[in-house]
Amino acid sequence: MRLLEKILIPVRINETSAEQLNVAIQLANKFHSQVILLHVLPIEAKMDSINSLIMKYVDNDFEKVLDNLKKIGIHAEKRIGYGNMFDQIISIAEMENVNLILIVNEMEHIDDNYKIDVVAEKLIRKSQKPIWVVKSGSNTIPDKILCPVDFSDASERALNNAIKISRTFQSKLFVITVFEPLEENSSMRYNINYKKENEELENETKKKFEDFIKKFNFTDVDYNTKLIRGKTHEKIIAFATKNNIDLIFMGATGKSLLQRVLLGSITEMVIRELPSSMVITKSENILNLKIDFEISEIEKHFSNAIKLEKNGYYKEAIDQLKICLQINDLHIPTLNALIKLYNKMGKKELSETYSNKLEEILSRLWDKKIELEIRKNYRLNQ
Each residue's pLDDT tens digit, 326-382: 777 778 889 999 999 999 999 999 999 999 888 888 776 666 555 555 554 544 444
Per-residue pLDDT tens over the stretch 33-65: 999 999 999 999 888 888 888 888 888 888 888
CA atoms of 240 and 234, how far apart (whole Å): 10
For residue 35, is it within any domain?
A: no
- Indicate the average pLDDT of the chain: 83
Number of domains in the chain: 1
Give DSSP secondary structure letters for 276-290: SEEEEESSS-S---B
For 212-226, how does the pLDDT look when each residue is reduced to its tens digit (9 = 90+)?
Answer: 999 998 988 999 999
Give the structural domain span for 344: 298-380
Which pLDDT value is given to residue 369? 55
pLDDT tens digit sequence for 162-215 = 999 999 899 999 999 999 887 766 555 566 777 888 899 999 999 999 999 999
Residue 319 counted as domain residue: yes
- CA pair distance 79, 37, nearest whole angstrom: 6
The answer for 32, left when phi > 0, alpha when psi is -120 to 50, beta otherwise, is: left
Q: 277-281 and 131-134 as β-strands: parallel, antiparallel, unpaired?
A: antiparallel
pLDDT at 301: 87
Compute the distance between CA of residue 7 and CA of residue 69 in angstroms, rounded to an integer: 14
Q: Is residue 320 part of a domain?
A: yes
Q: What is the average pLDDT across 119-137?
A: 86
Task: Look at residue 349 and tell me if it is in a domain.
Answer: yes
| Contact by Cβ (8 Å): 2, 29 | no
**Which residue type is seen at 213?**
I
- 30 membership: H or E segment, kind and range: helix 18-31
Q: Distance between CA atoms of 142 and 248, rounded to whole angstroms?
A: 10
In sequence order, what E strands does the chain have? 6-10, 34-41, 75-82, 100-104, 131-134, 144-148, 172-179, 223-229, 247-251, 277-281
Q: For 167, how many CA atoms within 13 A lie in the half-sphere containing its CB?
A: 22
Q: What angle do CA 208, 214, 216 make, to 5 degrees?
A: 120
Q: What band does 289 get if pLDDT is binned at 50, 70 and 90? A: low
Segments in 262-331 forming alpha helices (H): 265-273, 298-310, 314-327
Could you tell me if residue 99 is inside a domain? no
Q: pLDDT, tens digit, for every residue of 259-284?
A: 343 445 788 888 888 899 999 988 78
Asked if residue 181 belongs to a domain, the reply is: no
Taking CA 32 as the corner, what is the angle to CA 30 and CA 37, rounded to the nearest 5 degrees?
Answer: 105
| 241/246 Cα distance (integer angstroms) | 9
| Residue 127 falls inside a structural domain | no
Residue 2 pLDDT exceeds 70: no
Residues 294-309 have a mean pLDDT of 78
Q: What is the CATH number of the domain that holds 325?
A: 1.25.40.10
For residue 371, tell me if it sits in a domain. Answer: yes
Backbone angles phi, psi at 72, to 5 degrees: -100, 15
